[in-house]
Structure 1
Amino acid sequence: MQLTNPARKSRSKGSDHLELRAIDVFSVVAETGSMTAAALKFSMTQPAVSQILKHLETDVGAPLLDRELRPMRLTPAGEVLFARAQRLLRDAEQLYRELHQVSEAKLQRLRIGLVDSFTSTAGPQLIKALQQDVEQLLVWSGIAPDLRNELVRRDLDLIISPDPIHDVDNIHSRRILKESFVIIVPDSFSQREGSPSLAHLASTLPLVRYSHRSLIGMQIRKHLGRLRIDPPRHLEFDTSDSVVAMVGEGIGWAIVTPLCLLQAPAALSRVKVLPITCAPLSRSLYIAYRNGEFNGMPERIADICERIFDGMLSKLQQVEPWLPQHFQAE
């Protein structure tokens, strides 16, 4: 820890900061009159103690010890520093204890953002589990680009979304889920043996799209573009329950993920779920947060999410026996 003197102007010698560790070593030497005693207390050699004191004197810009006397005596500058050092060290120790207690105690507030497909599926169980760790829990739901902006602006402390935010300094992300995209068609859709190609579906039924402003919508559009498939843009929605409901009403087909399917349980009986066998596509969900903040909370949330996702496997198997293979918690 460094203590900076903002009033110090340029000098021919001396530094603009003091090391708390060096002050602690100096205090022991001042109390005992012995560098050997300080070396024993801090588990270092006597030359190392002497070097620390010399650096401290350089930082202060004045000698602190009169080494010509036996035992050593404090100089006027040393007396001033020693008089202040005891209180400074006590305050620093108290500050450390308080900060440690804060890091171990229940968080006073956590502002968390959840992408829509997560909010209505895994969200309730996550929030219930976090209530024992957080005094005030504020939850926002939305699309990935909005959540990203709110995290960067510090309007949110942590988000769960498909965006890893690798391009922003001091924001770390951890993947918690990888899932493959699947096709959904109206239950009345007649198909030949096997799963239809994306090109065939695009030429047969209208594509019910995710909004172009959502990350999942952009990902699907880019994938279809790489395959040179460009269905007309007639219908676009921000949320998965709307997309699945439209397909259930026979309006068209869509590309979704297993988690998105679970967001619309009422419409599942009216759709067929098919794998994408040619040119498969997948997405991941990440916890994104700032480095060094909310110590241990991202790991705690990741553990909770893993248990929640494992519990979803039986629900996905009821939709289609092969569907859990396309849903992997990490």
Structure 2
Amino acid sequence: MSRLTLSQLSAFMKLAETSSFKDAATQLGVSQPALSRTIQHIETRVGVRLFDRDTRTVTLTPAGERLRPSAARLLEDYETVFRELREFVEGREGIIRIATLPSVASAVLPGAIQRFQPKFPGVRIEIWEDVGEQVHNVVREGTADFAIAPPPDLAGDLRYQELLKDSIVLACRQDDPLAAIAEHNWSSFEGCRLVTMSPETGLRKMVESGLAQSGVVVERMFNCSAATTVGALVNAGQGITALTRLTMAQIASPSLVWRPLVDPALARSIGVVRHKARSLSPAAQAFTREVEQQARVLRMGDLAPSALDLVQSA
């Protein structure tokens, strides 16, 4: 027994549905003789009569009745496969897996997701948060489609597109005398207790660079993995800290303030990290455009204070 083509299955199903060569041929857009030949070819290939015909009626034989549900299922599966593929190609379904730093996630992703989801309700977004090189590693391994993070080693297998600069600032309690000064250089940390992020974070490395360039000696405290812990310790009077503006937005503590740091003024670059050898899905490409839009909003400072405290208190 030979297998039937999809067009032959479609012809069989249309004739079974209409019980009329004339009506079936019209709906299929072929001539009656052409449809008749197709049905004859089908019956020859399967080796059994599928329709009983007389001058007035066309009915399914027992073999035709047996074939009908299977043919319907095959045609439905075929349509489903290509409908799902079409939805994927159009970015209307799928999963987007994003790796990022917690501070970046809280500032960039909510606004981007808010604009993206009404346009692509069938797409699920998964967020993977970590610090340091591990954010790059999950893109390298294929666990994440892309990352929103500082730049990787561009000599490797990743590529980078910058979105914004995230300045390092001095952060302290509102009642700290340092809060009364509008701008600081790194000497403001001299002799202070500095609540720090853990050494494997890129932020810690940048803070150490600023201290070294300024020749400042500080007492380093705690080595925290989470910025929220740093904020809580500063709030508890355990010292001051150096964080970034996005990290301060993540902490979102009304009792903490930040002041710019200069001489040197340092900032980390934040952008989209992708694998050089892997294409993004259409949905992921659409989402990166929303991320770029959100980065423009951040650069312009067009955010409510609860989302990003860009306005310094007096």
Q: Distance in 1 between matches of 2:153 and 2:94?
A: 26
Corresponding residue of 2:304? 315
1:155 pairs with 143, 161, 166, which one?
143
Corresponding residue of 1:278? 263
2:166 pairs with 176, 179, 191, which one?
179
Structure 1 residue 143 and structure 2 residue 131: aligned?
yes
SS of aligned partner of 2:144: coil
Contact 2:147 2:274 in 1 (8 A): yes
Greater RCO (CA < 8 Å, at least 6 residues apart): 2
Higher mean C-alpha deviation, range 135-144 or range 256-265: 135-144
- In structure 2, relative to structure 1, the CA distance for the partners of 1:128 and 1:174 (3 Å cut) is same
Corresponding residue of 1:214? 201
Contact 2:88 2:94 in 1 (8 A): no
Corresponding residue of 2:251? 264
Q: Distance in 2 between matches of 1:322 and 1:177?
A: 20
The Cα offsets for residues 97-144 of structure 1, whole Å up to 9 and x where unpaired, read as x98875334342222112110223332333344441763432211113
Q: How does 1:10-25 map to 2 (within 5 A)?
A: none
Q: Distance in 1 between matches of 2:302 and 2:312?
A: 10
Q: Distance in 2 between matches of 1:193 and 1:149?
A: 40
Contact 1:181 1:282 in 2 (8 A): yes
Contact 1:195 1:277 in 2 (8 A): yes
CA RMSD of aligned residues (A): 3.1
Unaligned stretches of 5+ residues in structure 2: 1-83
SS of aligned partner of 1:246: helix
- In structure 2, relative to structure 1, the CA distance for the partners of 1:246 and 1:106 (3 Å cut) is same
1:189 pairs with 176, 200, 216, which one?
176
TM-score if structure 2 supplies the norm length?
0.61
- In structure 2, relative to structure 1, the CA distance for the partners of 1:218 and 1:193 (3 Å cut) is closer
Q: Aligned partner of 2:220: which letter?
A: R
TM-score if structure 1 supplies the norm length?
0.59
- Percent identity of the aligned residues? 18
SS of aligned partner of 1:180: strand
- In structure 2, relative to structure 1, the CA distance for the partners of 1:298 and 1:281 (3 Å cut) is farther
Count of equivalent residues: 224
Corresponding residue of 1:303? 289
Q: Distance in 1 between matches of 2:128 and 2:310?
A: 31
Unaligned stretches of 5+ residues in structure 1: 1-97, 324-330
Q: Distance in 2 between matches of 1:117 and 1:208?
A: 17
- In structure 2, relative to structure 1, the CA distance for the partners of 1:293 and 1:133 (3 Å cut) is farther
Structure 1 residue 202 and structure 2 residue 194: aligned?
no
SS of aligned partner of 1:120: helix
Corresponding residue of 2:23? none
Corresponding residue of 2:107? 121
